A and B are shown apart, each in its own frame.
Chain A
C-alpha cells in the first residue's frame, strides 16, 4: 500500500485514508461571467494530464479531512512531496536534477 504524507497530520498515512481531488493550482477567473466560452472551457474542462510530474489536490478524507497538494509522478505513481493547500508551487522538487 502507498504511504502518503499528510502535511496537516505531519506523518505518512495509508492511501486508503485519502482521495484524489483533481489537478491543483487552477485559478478561478476573477470575473467568471465575462469569460469567453473558449476560455471557460479551458478553465473548466481542459486538464494537462501529463506523463510524468503532476501537481494534484488530495484530501485526507478519512483522517483530518483537509485538502492539500501533492506532487506525484504519473509514470511511477511515486509521491515526490506534499504541501499544504494555499501554498505556492514548490520552486524546486526534492531529488530533482537542476
Chain B
C-alpha cells in the first residue's frame, strides 16, 4: 500500500513539473521569411574571470569565445560572448551545462536560465530585414557575419541575437516578453515581404 502511495506521489510530482514553454509551436510564414518558436533548450548565464576560462571551456566542451560579438558551437552547444566576462551557453542537445560547470573548482558563477528565455527562429532571405525592423544594429554580413552574437534591443525589449546562417537568426528573449517579441517579428515579417 505504501508502495502504491509512493507511486501516486511520483506521478503527481512528474505531472506538476511538466514544462510549458511560452508560445510553444507558434509559427508565422510570410513570403521570404519564417518566424517560429524554437523547442526548449538548456541555458546558463556564465560569469567568469580570465583565469577560469580554460577550465570552463574544457568542462563545457566548447571554447568560450573572447572576441566581442562572437560565438562558438560544438555538439549542439553554443557559447555566446555577451560581455568581457559574461557568456550565455545554449544547449540544444539536452545536456545540462550547469552540471558540467558544477564539476570544476575554478572561480565562476553559473546561473540556470533555461526557463527564463525562449528562442525564436527567424529564417529566410528576408530574415535580416525582419530583425532590422526593430533592431538598430548593422546586420549586413560584413558587420554581423554567421556566428556573430550580441545582446541588443528589438523594439522595446532586450534580446540576444545570434546569426546561425547567412539568412537565419536565433532571437533569445525573456519569456515574459515573448508575446511582444513574436508579434513584432510577425508584423515585421509581413512587412518585409513587401
Residue B86 at the chain A interface, CB threshold 8 Å: yes
Residue B69 at the chain A interface, CB threshold 8 Å: yes
Interface size bucket, B side?
Answer: 10 to 19
B82 touches A65 (CB 8 A): yes
Main secondary structure of the interface of A (DSSP, over half): loop
B152 touches A17 (CB 8 A): yes
A70 to chain B, nearest CB (A): 17
Nearest neighbor of A66 in chain B, beta-carbon distance: B83
Q: Which residues of B sit under 8 angstroms from A64, Cβ to Cβ?
A: 68, 82-84, 86, 151
B137 touches A62 (CB 8 A): no
Residue B31 at the chain A interface, CB threshold 8 Å: no
- Chain B, 144-170, CB within 8 A of any chain A CB: 150-153, 158
Nearest neighbor of A84 in chain B, beta-carbon distance: B84
User: Among A8, A16, A66, which residue has its beta carbon within 8 angstroms of that of B153?
Assistant: A16
Residue B94 at the chain A interface, CB threshold 8 Å: no
Most buried by B among A9, A13, A16, A63: A63
B86 touches A65 (CB 8 A): yes
Residue B76 at the chain A interface, CB threshold 8 Å: no
- Chain A, 55-88, CB within 8 A of any chain B CB: 62-66
User: Among A8, A16, A65, A66, which residue has its beta carbon within 8 angstroms of that of B136?
Assistant: A16
A8 touches B158 (CB 8 A): no
A9 touches B152 (CB 8 A): no
User: Among B82, B137, B158, which residue has its beta carbon within 8 angstroms of that of A13?
Assistant: B137
B137 touches A10 (CB 8 A): no
B90 to chain A, nearest CB (A): 18
Assembled-state Cα–Cα distance A66/B68 (Å): 13
Nearest neighbor of A65 in chain B, beta-carbon distance: B83
Assembled-state Cα–Cα distance A35/B125 (Å): 63
B45 to chain A, nearest CB (A): 11
B152 touches A63 (CB 8 A): yes
A62 with B158: in contact, given A10-B68, A14-B137, A16-B153 (CB under 8 Å)? Answer: yes
B134 to chain A, nearest CB (A): 10
Q: List 25 A-B contacts (CB under 8 A).
A: A1-B136, A8-B68, A8-B84, A9-B150, A11-B68, A11-B69, A13-B137, A14-B137, A16-B136, A17-B136, A17-B152, A62-B151, A62-B152, A63-B83, A63-B151, A63-B152, A64-B68, A64-B82, A64-B83, A64-B84, A64-B86, A65-B82, A65-B86, A65-B151, A66-B84
User: B residues touching A (Cβ–Cβ < 8 Å)?
Assistant: 68-69, 82-84, 86, 136-137, 150-153, 158
The 3 tightest CB contacts between A and B, nearest first, are: A14-B136, A64-B83, A9-B68
